[in-house]
Structure 1
Amino acid sequence: MGKKAVVLLSGGLDSTVALHVAKRDYDELYALSFTYGQLHSKELACAQWQGEHAGVKEHRIVELKLDAWGDCSLTHAAEPIEPGNVQRTSTPNTYVPARNMVFLSVAASYAEAVGASTIFIGVSEVDYSGYVDCREEFIVQMEAAINAGTERKLTHGDPIRIMAPFIHMRKADEVLLGAKLGVDFSHTWTCYQGDEKPCGVCDSCLLRAKAFAEAGVPDPLG
């Protein structure tokens, strides 16, 4: 029986490259995406395209209602997205409370159901916007919690692992890796806005532009 992995696939740059890393190393992939009250679906459309073209065995889109509370600018149109600042030291208002914790919990349930040993997530604590749920400390403790609350380790002898291959990687190196793995970056969406073209000024756009420039790779989204 081949190795199975669940990939958290948003359709952004990080999760798409993570998908291709998983494709390289695992035999059977299960992609998991979410609608959680975000104000646009551009990223999700890219996730669907990437999952189809990567040949995943199954792609599930799970509906959550994380917009039912809080005032995150990604889920509430009345809250303007803060101007981009790649040097920021505080958490921006695009942070969705405990989003990665929720996503990983659902992924753990999915992984246990399909017999997958690994969950891939494309977080990094090198080039990021200061989200607390993108840090290695969180990933390590979340993995421990998952294995304390699931049966895989008891029944198979091995735990469910959370693979965060970019946790200590510069986004520029991630772009280079993606190019090497044949990622079609034209079908990724990073911008916090859902317009026809990326806004070019939000945190995500600035980090993406910096990464492609440092990597010396043209960004097909300009």
Structure 2
Amino acid sequence: MSQKKAVILVSGGLDSTTVLAIARSQGYACYTISFDYGQRHRAELLAASRTATLLGSVQHKVVTLDLRSIGGSALTDDSLAVPEEETAGIPVTYVPARNTVFLSIALGWAEVLGANDIFIGVNAVDFSGYPDCRPEYIQAYETMANLATRAGVEGQALRIQAPLMNMSKAEIVKLGLTLGIDYGTTVSCYQATEEGLACGVCDSCRLRRIGFEQAGIKDPTRYQSGA
């Protein structure tokens, strides 16, 4: 019997790397996909490739998109500053429709591969308030995926798996360590340097740092001088 396949969305950050390790631990042959969408923190692409290799991805694919052409986010428009303090509401680091775009391409690849499962590292506990990280969104997208694909119509049920959805960042860190992840190889910072050094002050850095503190684990993140 052939090994079951899954497509894993990986960004090189803490959450998606943990999801990849979870999928691997569940016996999936993991096909990883990242997106070069014009993000200012391009160091994450190198981190994604690195962690995919370390965690045994069967194939790692980088898809190029130009989300800078529509802008609307501090991650795709250099005229918008990345907030360095916690902000109310949906922050300017939200990239319009990003997870919908990413999941749609991952869905297409899953059909080509004959994979019934797509894993994504969204979280609704310790997160920045993005609307496309909520359980309602994931459930709705899964329904759409099964309506919109040949695989779904022909009875090959497609599942969007978000195993971190209800976990705190500290719980994610602890789980990842049991799965053998070296979080020092990951990059979460929204404005990391080309070498992957984190700023230590953006929302993503703040959530990551708090996660290690609450887990009682030494933070392996490589920070910029003075961060």
TM category (shorter chain) comes to: over 0.9
- Counterpart-to-counterpart distance in 2, 1:40 and 1:170: 24
Post-superposition shift, 1:194? 2.1
> Residue 162 of structure 1 aligns to a residue in which SS?
strand
Given residue 213 of structure 2, which amino acid in structure 1 is its aligned partner? A
Alignment correspondent of 2:31: 30
Alignment correspondent of 2:9: 8
1:53 aligns with 2:51: no
Whether the aligned pair in 2 keeps the contact of 1:89 and 1:130 (CA below 8 Å) is no
Post-superposition shift, 1:89? 3.9
> Residue 189 of structure 1 aligns to a residue in which SS?
coil
**Unmatched segments (≥5 aa) in structure 1:** none
TM-score between both structures, scaled by the size of structure 2: 0.93
- Counterpart-to-counterpart distance in 1, 2:19 and 2:76: 25
- Counterpart-to-counterpart distance in 1, 2:31 and 2:80: 34
**Unmatched segments (≥5 aa) in structure 2:** 223-227
Q: Which runs of 4+ in 1 moved over 4 A?
A: none
- Counterpart-to-counterpart distance in 2, 1:84 and 1:121: 27
Given residue 221 of structure 2, which amino acid in structure 1 is its aligned partner? L
1:221 aligns with 2:221: yes
**Matches of residues 18-167 of structure 1 in structure 2 within 5 Å?**
18-85=19-86, 88-155=87-154, 157-167=155-165
Decide which moves more: 94-103 or 74-83: 74-83
Alignment correspondent of 1:211: 211
Given residue 219 of structure 1, which amino acid in structure 2 is its aligned partner? D
For residues 86-123 of structure 1, the C-alpha deviation after alignment (integer angstroms, 9 at most, x for no partner) is xx440110000000000000010000000111000000
- Counterpart-to-counterpart distance in 2, 1:84 and 1:15: 24
Decide which moves more: 181-190 or 21-30: 21-30
For residues 48-88 of structure 1, the C-alpha deviation after alignment (integer angstroms, 9 at most, x for no partner) is 00111112111110001111013311111111111231xx4
For residues 129-165 of structure 1, the C-alpha deviation after alignment (integer angstroms, 9 at most, x for no partner) is 010000001000001111101122343x331100000
Report how many residues are paired.
Answer: 219
- CA RMSD between the two structures: 1.2
Alignment correspondent of 2:199: 199
